[in-house]
């Protein structure tokens, strides 16, 4: 089963409405800090479940308001979730709670090996005979006991657990913390996984009465599969098992998505075409190769083993740095030596995933080192690594658009580092910079972003990148001064030569030192980076683009 575009979808469009969950539950650690109905953080005096005959469970879950308590309490008790939380020894588990809630609402939507039209994978998961099958059986027994079904067969409970394992989604709050688990119907769960996705998703956590669906919320995808299954599924599309509460999910395009040819063929002729044209998918071979590529000394034949050593070495250095007594200076020295000289005859591609991790860590380590040593040059190197990381990721974005979310974060971080650098310079920044209010005569990006149309995504993107490239070329020599590794790159915004790495001689040719025309160039570069990051983030998550 899968979902396919029913129409051409532009980049940065919501392709589903806000979909309510059919089952959901907070993780144990958040049961007393977040509302069990809407997942909002608790503030002030929380509210217990409404009084029921099972009074002992009044402290098991909490709610942010009487409305949430009234809406969720009946399901909390009738699903036997309260019995599970009060069992001795206690058996709290977000997965088990979600399983019980699912069973309470699944009777009308269960058919064979499916619930709500979602595949349970019960037979496959139980046949493995591993840790997962043991977890399913023990969890099912605990659930059956909580439901008062004794110690007999627990097929229903096993099916519910397997469904959540197969289709459950980790709910993440605005701080990036996993706070719970949720299961959504086929409108979301039938969307295929891809390591090169064309869509992302976000969660809407407040209760429905406080957060209406976005206006751009038509369902732009349709299911595809055998007619007999489709008929049963479409009847429960976008239904909720939680009374409209719980974390809702919205899917958003991060690439242009074409209406599938096979969707038309299905609608007209009721068959699924498996020809090469319909079944082929784009390849990211260059990106994959760059993220894994290393150079070896002539005659070197132990690449795999030393590759593992490289990974272990980088992980060890980063772990030491992040420890309580981590030393940023030592971290910088070790990682830069690895980038410049390699390890045991192996050198990392400048875009290798270990190199990307190193750039991220180096920017952070230099920033911390600068704060303790009061060194302006360390602040400058921190900003240089942040900019180089963003530029490297942007180069990969050209070949793999699904990287847009992480690239947005890199550009925002680079912008913040560069603005911090310019504000800490001596003498202080001129007032004219403040008066400019982010305006640029070349790209007019303020006006462009205030009235952004995602149909003009490439145009706006090219204008911003062109300006960033110009300010980078005027500032890079100044930013990279004194950093042996970064001085080897003439222009971080032009990494086209790395496609021929390591044959390209540019890899080891240090660029000449060029003094930035003024710190205004660095400030403008930071402002453009921040704006570009905000623009890319808005493509993924919607909302306004913050420029101040």
pLDDT tens digits along 391-435: 999 999 988 888 898 999 999 999 999 999 988 865 544 544 443
**What's the rounded Cα separation, in Å, for the pair 126 and 158?**
9
- Alpha-carbon span 502 to 500, nearest angstrom: 6
Residue 409 confidence (pLDDT): 93
Q: Which of 204, 298, 296 is nearest to 251 (CA)?
A: 204
- Please report where in the chains the tokens 């969707």 appear, as a residue: 263
According to the model, what pLDDT value does residue 316 have? 94
Residues in the chain: 548
Q: Is the pLDDT of residue 89 over 70?
A: no
Rg of the chain over CA atoms, in angstroms?
Answer: 27
CA distance 70 to 500: 64
Whether residue 505 is predicted with pLDDT greater than 70 in this model: the reply is no
HEC-encoded secondary structure of 146-210: HCCCCCCCCHHHHHHHHHHHHHCEEEECCCCCEEEEEECCHHHHCCCCCCCCCEEEEEECCCCCC
Q: What are phi and psi of 71, to 5 degrees?
A: -75, -35
Q: For 171, phi and psi rounded to 5 degrees?
A: -85, 125
Which pLDDT does position 272 carry in this prediction?
Answer: 60
So what's the pLDDT on residue 426? 53
| Residue of 283 and 34 predicted with greater confidence | 34
Once rounded to an integer, what is the mean pLDDT over residues 470-478?
93
SS percent in the chain: helix, strand, coil, step 5: 50, 10, 40
104-113, 114-123, 232-241: least confidently modelled range: 232-241
Answer yes or no: is pLDDT of 14 > 80.
yes
For residues 125-137, give the mean pLDDT: 85
DSSP 463-505: HHHHHHHHHHHHHHHHHTTT-TTGGG-S-TT--GGGGGTTT-G
pLDDT above 60 for 141: yes
Percent of the chain with pLDDT strictly greater than 90: 33
- State mean pLDDT over 296-325: 79
Q: How sure is the predictor about 241, in pLDDT bands with cuts at 50, 70 and 90?
A: low
> Quick one: pLDDT at residue 230?
46
Residue, of 225 and 493, whose pLDDT is higher: 493
Alpha carbons 29 and 235: distance in angstroms, whole number: 36
The yes-or-no verdict on residue 228 having pLDDT over 50 is: no
Is residue 338 within 8 A of residue 348, CB to CB? The reply is: yes
Asked if residue 155 has pLDDT above 80, the reply is yes
Alpha-carbon span 415 to 472, nearest angstrom? 12
Confidence at 238, pLDDT banded by 50, 70, 90: very low
Nearest CA to 103 out of 45, 166, 59, 146 is that of: 146
**Which of 157-161, 284-288, 469-473 has the highest mean predicted lDDT (pLDDT)?**
469-473
- Residue 472 banded pLDDT, cuts 50, 70, 90: very high
What confidence score (pLDDT) does residue 104 get? 76
**Is it the case that residue 540 has pLDDT exceeding 60?**
yes
Give the rounded percent of residues in the chain with a pLDDT score beyond 70.
72
Task: Choose the weakest-confidence range: 297-301, 330-334, 437-441, 518-522.
Answer: 297-301
Angle in degrees, CA 508, 510, 513, rounded to 5: 170
Name the β-bridge partners of 178.
Answer: 172
Average pLDDT, the chain: 78
Of 50 and 40, the one with more pLDDT: 40
Phi-psi region of 434 (alpha: psi -120 to 50; beta: other; left: phi over 0): alpha
Tell me, what's the pLDDT at 423?
85
Mean of pLDDT values over 363-373: 93
**Between 169 and 233, where is the model more confident?**
169
pLDDT digit string, tens, across residues 329-360:
999 999 999 999 888 778 888 999 999 999 99
The pLDDT of residue 82? 77
Q: If DSSP codes are grouped into helix, strand and coil, which group holds residue 111?
A: strand
Instruction: State yes or no: pLDDT of 274 exceeds 70.
Output: no
Residue 510: per-residue pLDDT: 47
Whose tokens are 């993924």? That residue is 540
Say which residue, 156 or 510, is predicted with more confidence: 156
- How many whole angstroms separate alpha carbon 270 and alpha carbon 231? 13
d(CA 437, CA 278): 49
Question: pTM of the full predicted structure?
Answer: 0.68
Q: Identify the pLDDT of residue 266.
A: 57
Mean pLDDT computed over 236-247: 60
pLDDT of residue 496: 77
Q: What angle do CA 85, 91, 95 make, to 5 degrees?
A: 90
Q: How confident is the model at residue 500 (pLDDT cuts 50, 70, 90)?
A: low
In 285-298, which positions are buried (b, 16+ CB within 10 angstroms) versus exposed (e)?
eebeebbebbbbee
Q: Dihedral angle at the C-alpha atoms of 57, 61, 64, 68, nearest 10 degrees? A: -70
Task: Tell whether the model's pLDDT for residue 269 goes beyond 80.
Answer: no
Instruction: Give bridge partners of residue 5 from the DSSP assignment.
Output: 221
pLDDT at site 511? 45
- Interval 83-103 mean pLDDT: 69
Residue 298 has pLDDT above 60, yes or no: no
Question: What pLDDT score was predicted for residue 333?
Answer: 95
| DSSP-based three-state secondary structure for 218 | coil
**Range ranked top by mean pLDDT from 69-78, 144-153, 200-209, 232-241:** 69-78
pLDDT value for 138: 86
Taking the C-alpha atoms of residue 73 and residue 51, their distance in angstroms, rounded to an integer, is 9
Q: What distance in Å separates the CA atoms of residue 387 and residue 418, rounded to the nearest whole number?
A: 8
Per residue in 510-538, pLDDT (tens digit) is 444 444 456 888 999 999 999 999 889 88
Predicted local confidence at residue 53, as pLDDT:
46
Could you tell me if 424 and 371 are in contact, meaning their C-beta atoms sit under 8 angstroms apart? no
CB 99 within 8 A of CB 161: yes
């Amino acid at each position: 089963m899968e979902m396919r575009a029913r129409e051409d979808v532009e980049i940065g469009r919501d392709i589903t409405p806000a979909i309510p969950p059919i089952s959901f539950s907070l993780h144990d650690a958040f049961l007393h800090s977040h509302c069990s109905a809407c997942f909002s953080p608790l503030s002030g005096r929380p509210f217990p479940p409404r009084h029921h005959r099972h009074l002992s469970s009044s402290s098991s879950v909490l709610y942010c308001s009487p409305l949430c308590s009234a809406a969720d309490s009946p399901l909390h008790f009738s699903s036997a979730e309260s019995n599970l939380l009060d069992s001795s020894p206690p058996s709290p588990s977000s997965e088990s709670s979600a399983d019980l809630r699912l069973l309470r609402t699944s009777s009308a939507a269960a058919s064979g090996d499916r619930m709500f039209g979602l595949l349970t994978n019960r037979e496959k998961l139980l046949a493995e005979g591993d840790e997962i099958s043991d977890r399913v059986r023990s969890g099912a027994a605990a659930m059956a006991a909580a439901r008062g079904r004794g110690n007999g067969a627990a097929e229903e409970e096993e099916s519910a657990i397997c469904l959540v394992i197969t289709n459950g989604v980790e709910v993440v709050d605005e701080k990036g913390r996993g706070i719970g688990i949720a299961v959504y119907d086929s409108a979301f769960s039938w969307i295929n996984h891809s390591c090169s996705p064309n869509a992302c998703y976000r969660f809407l956590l407040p209760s429905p009465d406080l957060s209406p669906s976005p206006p751009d919320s038509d369902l732009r995808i349709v299911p595809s599969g055998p007619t007999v299954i489709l008929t049963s599924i479409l009847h429960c599309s976008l239904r909720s098992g939680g009374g409209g509460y719980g974390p809702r999910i919205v899917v958003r395009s991060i690439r242009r998505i074409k209406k599938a040819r096979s969707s038309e063929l299905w609608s007209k002729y009721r068959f699924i075409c498996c020809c090469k044209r319909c079944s082929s998918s784009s390849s990211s071979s260059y990106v994959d190769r760059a993220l894994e590529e290393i150079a070896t000394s002539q005659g070197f034949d132990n690449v795999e083993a030393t590759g593992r050593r490289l990974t272990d070495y980088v992980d060890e250095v980063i772990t030491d740095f992040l420890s309580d007594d981590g030393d940023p200076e030592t971290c910088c020295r070790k990682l830069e030596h690895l980038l410049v000289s390699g390890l045991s005859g192996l050198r990392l591609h400048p875009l290798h995933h270990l190199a990307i991790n190193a750039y991220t860590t180096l920017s952070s380590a230099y920033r911390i080192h600068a704060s303790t040593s009061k060194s302006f040059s360390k602040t400058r190197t921190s900003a240089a690594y942040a900019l180089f990381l963003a530029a490297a990721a942007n180069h990969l974005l050209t070949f793999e658009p699904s990287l847009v979310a992480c690239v947005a974060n890199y550009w925002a971080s680079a912008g913040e580092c560069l603005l911090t650098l310019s504000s800490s310079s001596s003498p202080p920044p001129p007032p004219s910079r403040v008066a400019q209010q982010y305006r640029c005569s070349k790209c007019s990006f303020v006006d462009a972003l205030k009235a952004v149309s995602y149909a003009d995504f490439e145009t706006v993107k090219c204008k911003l990148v062109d300006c960033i490239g110009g300010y980078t070329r005027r500032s890079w020599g100044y930013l990279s001064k004194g950093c042996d590794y970064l001085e080897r790159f003439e222009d971080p915004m032009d990494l086209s030569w790395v496609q021929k790495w390591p044959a390209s001689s540019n890899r080891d040719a240090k660029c000449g030192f060029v003094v930035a025309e003024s710190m205004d160039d660095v400030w403008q570069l930071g402002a453009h980076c921040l704006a570009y990051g905000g623009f890319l983030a808005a493509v993924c998550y919607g909302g306004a683009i913050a420029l101040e």
